[in-house]
Amino acid sequence: MKGIVIGAGQSLYDENVIDTIVKLKEKDDPVLKDVVLLSTDRTLKYVLDQGIIPEYCGIQENLYPATRYGVTDYLKIFFDHDIVRKHASEITLYSAQALRWQRTKILTAMGFKMVRFNRHGCGGNLKPVIHTCGHCTMALVQIARYILKLDKIAVIGMDMDNSTSWKLYENTPIAQNMAQNTIRKTASDFVDTGKPVYNLTRKGVYHCRGVVETNIEDFLNDNVQWYR
């Protein structure tokens, strides 16, 4: 099985990977039969608006109001939409233990099937421990690899370059630290498993050891050749 993780970087909106998936789904193309789609919390509404229902979504923090950035409640921003409520029962939502029970109760009432995972550094006894590197896209890459046991994992919009969602961290070291941790973890996972992450978009800084750059057609059709 293959997995495609949909992150919120600018390349998600500027490159045509989502359009390609939509066209393949409209044709009921068999190339998608063994593909699992995973959306971050931030991208879920956008993905649903495009006509794509991901099998999984992920939350790696409490989504609590971040007032110092001038942002209100993230849970409301990401999930309080008619289209999300319409499809919630079709989606399994992985959440880290940082998500408080009051917040979990809201999402369960919407219809999501909730599954908790153990985010590294937050305590808890669940196995395996998921190294999110501080952001939801990497959390889903790790969930796809270590919990869902998907054989090949690709990413869209994993830019980590202060675009769209990361714009909040502009002129702070937070984005740089998350990017560096993600690059290091990607490299170490590649050494441990021998399996790369396939990057289907080109913007941003996620181009490193353990990442293979390709396009969605070649990824879906197993036409990617790479060398360790």
pLDDT value at position 59? 95
Q: What domain count does the chain have? A: 1
**Inside any domain, residue 227:** no
85, with CB counted inside 10 A (0-12, 13-18, 19+), is: middle
Domain that holds residue 53: 2-220
Note whether residue 204 is domain-resident. yes
Q: Which of 189, 203, 201, 198 is nearest to 219 (CA)?
A: 198
- pLDDT of 174-226, one tens digit each? 778 888 999 999 999 999 999 999 999 999 889 999 999 999 999 999 888 76
In a domain, 72, yes or no: yes
**Over the chain, what is the mean pLDDT?**
90
pLDDT digits (tens, 9 = 90+) for 152-186: 999 999 998 867 666 666 666 777 888 899 999 99
Kindly state whether residue 43 falls inside one of the protein's structural domains: yes
What mean pLDDT do residues 84-112 have?
95
Domain assignment present for 228: no
**Dist. CA 116–CA 24, nearest whole Å:** 32
Nearest C-alpha neighbor of 120 from the set 196, 185, 175, 35: 185
Residue 71 has pLDDT above 80, yes or no: no
The stretch 10-35 carries a mean pLDDT of 93
With beta carbons less than 8 A apart as the criterion, state whether 58 and 40 touch: yes
Instruction: Name the band, by pLDDT with cuts 50, 70 and 90, for residue 113.
Output: very high
The residues pairing with 129 across neighbouring beta strands, listed in sequence order, are 118
Q: Is the residue at 226 inside a domain?
A: no
Reported as half-sphere exposure (CB side, CA atoms, 13 A), residue 17 has a value of 30
Predicted confidence at residue 70, as pLDDT, reads 62
Give the residue with greater pLDDT, 33 vs 171.
33
Half-sphere exposure of 108 (CA within 13 A, CB side): 11
DSSP assignment letter at 98? T
User: Which of 32-46, 91-105, 214-228 is least confident?
Assistant: 214-228
d(CA 84, CA 180): 33
Contact of 185 with 35, CB cutoff 8 Å: no
Q: Which amino acid is at 147?
A: I
- DSSP for 103-124, please give it: HHHHHHHHTPEEEEEEETTS--
